[in-house]
Chains A and B, each alone.
Chain A
């Protein structure tokens, strides 16, 4: 009965039902059976993400009128054939689903339903993955193991409910350690080893009670924030496994004492600081607001009540009028009270708004300041395109969502809860029977709404898909307009998508429009008015109610429905704000450049650079650079060459501490002394190692400011000398206000000109060591030779490391390092490298073959 009700509710809330037919069944182990189904309505080309599961409705073995539901993970879904497998655990005594599976033969059918498949979406780059579950969870865990990148750390803890369970095949993953634990509700929770779980992500699936316990343990004992635990309960002991009881076995069966599996305990186990997750940053961010928002909520509740009070007074006034007690003496205080309450509410509401805006202004300001301060502390390598997008998201969209939450959403939600609650409480004291009837329209609304939502989950996915397609088609159409025009195209592609979207909306929404309006009409004032008057008349005529008691209902009760549904809309921005806070928190938690030992200054003089056994990787076990040994003697030019993806640019960024090396060291060589770059004050290091890249950044300001960025006190003569050497002086003097022209306003610089400006800037900064990206494709070929000459002037007598794209530009380099797949495979002069077989000679020959 319970399961049947649940199934009806699922359907009411938009789930879809599917019939699956058994094709074949194989026993993977003695107690683990894989059944292949044909399910063409379910596996129809829609996305089936990793570890998606459906609810199967297994018939009760004894009472065919009953069904039991249980979650099963999709295994090998095949959109082409509409086939999918499910793995069943056949433990004795069997639950209904297992019993069905044990007896299943080709041709049998079973029902399955689902809302929509949820994606396996762990937070970005967790420290590791903790996957836990019972035998029923193994298919999902196998699915996850097969999609996790090979270099990540994984700990898998599985529960063997029977000894034979240990034979169930588990997908191999190179970074995974697999442990088994015994049976019992608390076994999984007890098996979590003690260690530093900071930034780990936990995925757990098992029996309902076991999950509850496991989640609590992970959260309270091991510190996992709930946001970093993804949990699924596939089944419930004592419900689907009801048969157990009938065989007489004790439900709270004896749990064998479980000892935590002997995991290698990492050194951090002796941690002094509590573990930390990136997701905690967001919660802490909101924590600073918490008491203020609570106070605002209380104040808003008071305001809401004050706004309702005059209506109560009006009802009282009506009562006195009807009783014939009304005269100026009794009416005047009521009117004054009404005015006073209105005025008081307006005043308090003003106070609340001023205060919330002040809180928000300070909070927003502090937030933006901390983001800016954070940006200044991150390693330079962090600033990729993708992370730049996360800055945009944080300071623009997410900050806006938090602003909305503080200034609007919190009062809205509080008012939305307090008002209907106060109204219904008051009305219950007036006449409980009539007040109870007010829930009728709400019930009708829920019923009609559920009717409208039938199967809608599927449609929502489709709708999101159409929106995405329409956006993409519109973008493609607009961007390709010149081409469309040239080929006389009629923009059929975009028309087709837009028409398809319209047809979809028509097919979906037209039948829904009528149902939607029916649901809405049920809770709008006319419905309540009719209900109150009709029921009121009936009760008054039958003598069950005083006529005057109808007044509070007429004054306060008609808007009850709209008030109560308004709350639902207030929660969406609240949830969005929480997610926004989490994203900002994650940004604020990004690992910073380690400055703990960076104290040393440098004495001026010529410098060299030495890479000693340098290794680097963004993640453990996935090195990007390995065993780099390279010496840049003072005043020499070293070129990095090699195929794209060899790691040239990553290597070139290391001397500026874009990232810190994960192995070995990079040292500055000044005469006899060598200093690790991590020991030098970062500001000093930035002045010592200069960078000139293809991608030129100009700041908003004058040309002079742009050139003298590193030395604002540089004299005009120095600035002009640098500009002359960089072949940009003439262009600047031609600009309307010379060196005082503002970039982007008075003067638009072409790509080549901006490049020369950046070279002038580097000349002023005058770093002893220079890292250069030899730009092959200059933004404008016409000024290519000027850029080349400027580069020549900049190189001068410096120690230079250049990332070379065209081999012939560096044939005279003092040293050429040939890189391939993160290693230096050859080193030497051009002549020496050409004399021996190897990558360098191959690259040259390949280049010549193409041009010939």
Chain B
């Protein structure tokens, strides 16, 4: 079932023939094992020549098995390859349709692991594991059924033993996994505490605390040690269970054979030959137990990948809407993230062609307001209108065509600076994009790095936070959409960054602009101010009016002015 869900629909019909061929391969292997009964019977008799035709059967079934298994591996390769290519596309498509709010650090790691780790692993498993494991799983049953015809009591014993052995293998494996997971968790906790201890050395030494005794670190280290021993109570039954089941089965089946012999129901040669068959019966289970860790890891990878595809995507309307006058309206907007209310009934309008500033303490919800407009998340309640229509009524492309956005934490693509700016409008002329880049002070960065094509590093880490924001401003300038959303950087600010922000605001002077403002110069440029606190708009109006009202904004404004001219002594 998991396998079928991993495959693209067009490849799914190919699973049934694959399964049929697996059964045939198992039957061939069973045939080669069972052909030993007449073969050895003849060989140990007075007429050993009688063994030769049976040897022919054995050779034929082994050779046919080889050809079939080779064929199966290539079929498995095809299926795995179809899975890999379709899964890559499905994952990327799906990730693009998920709300950005879903991507917390943990989910980000999950998505990365699925894309770059799980899919290649699933492919490798389909090539290296699938055929061998499925034959090993089928063989005990086909062999047991075959034994029914040769010596039915032994066949019954084998049919009873097969599920028992598989169950023991599975349960033992589970117990082992559980033990190892527990131990790994305790080790991770101890490691995390040790790393914290390392990072906090300055602090701990100043406090005279350099001993682990009696600290969370000491406790974690001790817990790790006792867990390490407790793990045994899972590990032991885990490993013993399967080997015990194997030995019990072997002894039971040999005893059945001994009884048949003593009863005179079977001659010595056949008895001996059947002991060999019994050993062949147990062999695939050994193979399975060796493959078990790999199979378990494959199953986990498949589970993670499918779970990712099950995360609900953002709904997209079938029919697009036409944008009207470029303004933005919030109508009683509520927004919760993971159960925590972030916005509690926000209503305001950003009039077309004016600059509106969002001001307020950190954590008040300013950046969330911007991301809701861009529909990086969907509101929990209420409505957001951009250019007269609900944001959910537009296709993503139409909505984004209305917006130029400068985020707080800007990610760049690994590649050149020029490339990073051009993506805002790939059809822009050379003069146009250069002009935008220069206006955002990016030319200075290009000069420092040694040219427009110089790489920005992974995620842009050759650039400072402020510099990355300048690149982002250049993108916004180049795109020149009717509405600008700007989240001013708080850290890594440098003079050129301030110039770039000022330029952007000036250029978009006659566009609709909503800016999350921190610096008093930026606040001063706004036509209208919205003061946000605790997820609500608590004050709104022109700057001078708000200052005169001596409310929250006035306090804020004054403290910002004091901070600007502060000196240490």
Residues A368 and B111 in contact in the complex (CB < 8 Å), given A383-B199, A499-B85: no
Task: Provide the bound-state CA to CA distance between A483 and B100, in Å.
Answer: 10
Which residues of the partner chain A approach B100 to less than 8 Å between Cβ atoms? 481-482, 485
Cβ contact within 8 Å between B96 and A474: no
- Which has the most chain A C-beta neighbours within 10 Å: B66, B197, B272, B519? B272
Which residues of the partner chain A approach B196 to less than 8 Å between Cβ atoms? 699-700
Task: Provide the bound-state CA to CA distance between A774 and B236, in Å.
Answer: 58
Give the residues from 40 to 78 in chain B that come closer than 8 angstroms, CB to CB, to chain A.
40, 43-44, 48-49, 51-52, 55, 58-59, 62, 65-66, 69-70, 73-74, 77
Among the listed B184, B205, B236, which residue makes an inter-chain contact with A350, where contact means beta carbons less than 8 Å apart?
B236
Cβ contact within 8 Å between B258 and A331: yes
Query: Which residue on B lies nearest to A484, using beta carbons?
Result: B96
Which residues of the partner chain A approach B235 to less than 8 Å between Cβ atoms? 353, 357
Stretch binding the partner chain, chosen from B156-164, B341-349, B403-411, B507-515: B403-411
Closest chain-A Cβ to B218's Cβ sits at a distance in Å of 9
Cβ contact within 8 Å between B191 and A558: no
Among the listed B40, B92, B229, which residue makes an inter-chain contact with A358, where contact means beta carbons less than 8 Å apart?
B229
Cβ contact within 8 Å between A777 and B492: yes
Q: Does A795 sit at the interface, judged by CB under 8 A?
A: yes
Task: Provide the bound-state CA to CA distance between A473 and B112, in Å.
Answer: 9
Give the residues from 393 to 414 in chain B that come closer than 8 angstroms, CB to CB, to chain A.
396-397, 400-401, 403, 405, 407, 410-414
Which residues of the partner chain A approach B362 to less than 8 Å between Cβ atoms? 750-752, 779-783
Interface string of B247-261 (1 = CB under 8 A from A): 100010011001001
Q: Does A505 sit at the interface, judged by CB under 8 A?
A: yes
Cβ contact within 8 Å between B562 and A785: yes
Among the listed A317, A537, A690, which residue makes an inter-chain contact with B43, where contact means beta carbons less than 8 Å apart?
A537
Query: Which residue on A lies nearest to B376, using beta carbons?
Result: A482
Q: Does B3 sit at the interface, judged by CB under 8 A?
A: no
Query: Which residue on B lies nearest to A324, using beta carbons?
Result: B268
Task: Provide the bound-state CA to CA distance between A687 and B44, in Å.
Answer: 90
Give the residues from 776 to 826 in chain A that come closer than 8 angstroms, CB to CB, to chain B.
777-786, 788, 791-792, 795, 802, 804, 808-813
Give the residues from 244 to 285 in chain B that come closer than 8 angstroms, CB to CB, to chain A.
244, 247, 251, 254-255, 258, 261-262, 268-269, 271-272, 275-276, 279-280, 283
Q: Does B541 sit at the interface, judged by CB under 8 A?
A: no
Q: Does A369 sit at the interface, judged by CB under 8 A?
A: yes
Cβ contact within 8 Å between B48 and A547: yes
Cβ contact within 8 Å between A502 and B89: no
Which residues of the partner chain B approach A392 to less than 8 Å between Cβ atoms? 191, 195
Task: Provide the bound-state CA to CA distance between A514 and B565, in Å.
Answer: 75
For A, the interface residue count at a CB cutoff of 8 angstroms equals: 154
Q: Does B243 sit at the interface, judged by CB under 8 A?
A: yes
- Which has the most chain B C-beta neighbours within 10 Å: A362, A467, A777, A802? A777
Task: Provide the bound-state CA to CA distance between A486 and B81, in Å.
Answer: 32
Closest chain-B Cβ to A767's Cβ sits at a distance in Å of 8
Task: Provide the bound-state CA to CA distance between A791 and B563, in Å.
Answer: 12
Among the listed A474, A558, A656, A792, which residue makes an inter-chain contact with B115, where contact means beta carbons less than 8 Å apart?
A474
Which residues of the partner chain A approach B458 to less than 8 Å between Cβ atoms? 472, 475-476
Closest chain-B Cβ to A501's Cβ sits at a distance in Å of 7
Among the listed A357, A555, A778, which residue makes an inter-chain contact with B279, where contact means beta carbons less than 8 Å apart?
A555
Among the listed B184, B376, B423, which residue makes an inter-chain contact with A485, where contact means beta carbons less than 8 Å apart?
B376
Interface string of B306-332 (1 = CB under 8 A from A): 000000000000000000000000000
Q: Does B84 sit at the interface, judged by CB under 8 A?
A: yes
Among the listed B52, B62, B112, B128, which residue makes an inter-chain contact with A475, where contact means beta carbons less than 8 Å apart?
B112
Q: Does B292 sit at the interface, judged by CB under 8 A?
A: no
Residues A514 and B88 in contact in the complex (CB < 8 Å), given A314-B254, A780-B490, A812-B568: no
Which residues of the partner chain B approach A485 to less than 8 Å between Cβ atoms? 96, 100, 374, 376, 396, 400
Among the listed A314, A475, A686, which residue makes an inter-chain contact with B208, where contact means beta carbons less than 8 Å apart?
A686
Residues A399 and B191 in contact in the complex (CB < 8 Å), given A478-B108, A506-B81: yes
Closest chain-B Cβ to A665's Cβ sits at a distance in Å of 21
Query: Which residue on B lies nearest to A694, using beta carbons?
Result: B491
Stretch binding the partner chain, chosen from A92-100, A289-297, A518-526, A609-617: A518-526
Q: Does B9 sit at the interface, judged by CB under 8 A?
A: no
Cβ contact within 8 Å between B197 and A781: no
Query: Which residue on B lies nearest to A385, using beta carbons?
Result: B199
Cβ contact within 8 Å between B55 and A396: no
Cβ contact within 8 Å between A326 and B261: yes
Task: Provide the bound-state CA to CA distance between A483 and B405, in Å.
Answer: 9
Cβ contact within 8 Å between B205 and A380: yes
Stretch binding the partner chain, chosen from A6-14, A63-71, A154-162, A490-498: A490-498
Query: Which residue on A lies nearest to B29, using beta carbons?
Result: A526
Q: Does B187 sit at the interface, judged by CB under 8 A?
A: yes
Q: Does A361 sit at the interface, judged by CB under 8 A?
A: yes
Cβ contact within 8 Å between B206 and A396: no
For B, the interface residue count at a CB cutoff of 8 angstroms equals: 151
Cβ contact within 8 Å between B187 and A396: yes
Closest chain-A Cβ to B41's Cβ sits at a distance in Å of 11
Which residues of the partner chain B approach A514 to less than 8 Å between Cβ atoms? 70, 73-74
Q: Does A272 sit at the interface, judged by CB under 8 A?
A: no
Which residues of the partner chain A approach B205 to less than 8 Å between Cβ atoms? 376, 380, 682-683, 686
Cβ contact within 8 Å between B194 and A371: yes
Q: Does B95 sit at the interface, judged by CB under 8 A?
A: yes
Q: Does A247 sit at the interface, judged by CB under 8 A?
A: no
Give the residues from 221 to 255 in chain B that come closer than 8 angstroms, CB to CB, to chain A.
221-222, 224-225, 228-229, 231-232, 235-236, 239-240, 243-244, 247, 251, 254-255
Interface string of B491-519 (1 = CB under 8 A from A): 11101101100000000000000000011
Which residues of the partner chain A approach B131 to less than 8 Å between Cβ atoms? 517
Task: Provide the bound-state CA to CA distance between A162 and B459, in Å.
Answer: 56
Interface string of A695-718 (1 = CB under 8 A from B): 001011100000001100000000
Residues A517 and B459 in contact in the complex (CB < 8 Å), given A479-B108, A495-B92, A498-B92: no
Cβ contact within 8 Å between B127 and A380: no
Interface string of A153-183 (1 = CB under 8 A from B): 0000000000000000000000000000000
Cβ contact within 8 Å between B283 and A525: yes
Which residues of the partner chain B approach A383 to less than 8 Å between Cβ atoms? 198-199, 201-202
Residues A480 and B66 in contact in the complex (CB < 8 Å), given A321-B268, A375-B197: no
Closest chain-B Cβ to A536's Cβ sits at a distance in Å of 8
Which residues of the partner chain B approach A358 to less than 8 Å between Cβ atoms? 229
Cβ contact within 8 Å between B560 and A709: no
Q: Does B103 sit at the interface, judged by CB under 8 A?
A: yes
Task: Provide the bound-state CA to CA distance between A480 and B254, in Å.
Answer: 64
Stretch binding the partner chain, chosen from B16-24, B165-173, B209-217, B296-304: B209-217
Which residues of the partner chain A approach B414 to less than 8 Å between Cβ atoms? 472, 476
Task: Provide the bound-state CA to CA distance between A785 and B55, in Å.
Answer: 93
Cβ contact within 8 Å between A321 and B569: no
Cβ contact within 8 Å between A534 and B59: yes
Q: Does A541 sit at the interface, judged by CB under 8 A?
A: yes
Query: Which residue on B lies nearest to A375, using beta carbons?
Result: B198
Q: Does A243 sit at the interface, judged by CB under 8 A?
A: no
Among the listed B44, B225, B459, B559, which residue makes an inter-chain contact with A361, where contact means beta carbons less than 8 Å apart?
B225
Stretch binding the partner chain, chosen from A137-145, A193-201, A338-346, A832-840: A338-346
Query: Which residue on A lies nearest to B566, using beta carbons?
Result: A788
Task: Provide the bound-state CA to CA distance between A550 and B43, in Å.
Answer: 10
Task: Provide the bound-state CA to CA distance between A391 and B201, in Å.
Answer: 13
Q: Does A510 sit at the interface, judged by CB under 8 A?
A: yes
Cβ contact within 8 Å between A784 and B567: no
Which residues of the partner chain A approach B132 to less than 8 Å between Cβ atoms? 520
Among the listed A487, A521, A551, which residue makes an inter-chain contact with B475, where contact means beta carbons less than 8 Å apart?
A487
Q: Does B116 sit at the interface, judged by CB under 8 A?
A: yes
Cβ contact within 8 Å between A342 and B247: yes
Cβ contact within 8 Å between B191 and A709: no
Query: Which residue on B lies nearest to A332, using beta carbons?
Result: B258
Given contacts A314-B275, A472-B414, A495-B89, 8 further A-B contacts (CB under 8 A): A328-B262, A360-B228, A383-B198, A474-B112, A488-B396, A513-B77, A529-B62, A809-B568
Show 6 A/B contacts (Cβ-Cβ < 8 Å), sorted by A: A372-B221, A475-B459, A476-B413, A483-B472, A530-B62, A812-B568
Closest 5 CB pairs of A and B: A780-B362, A361-B228, A396-B191, A850-B495, A785-B563
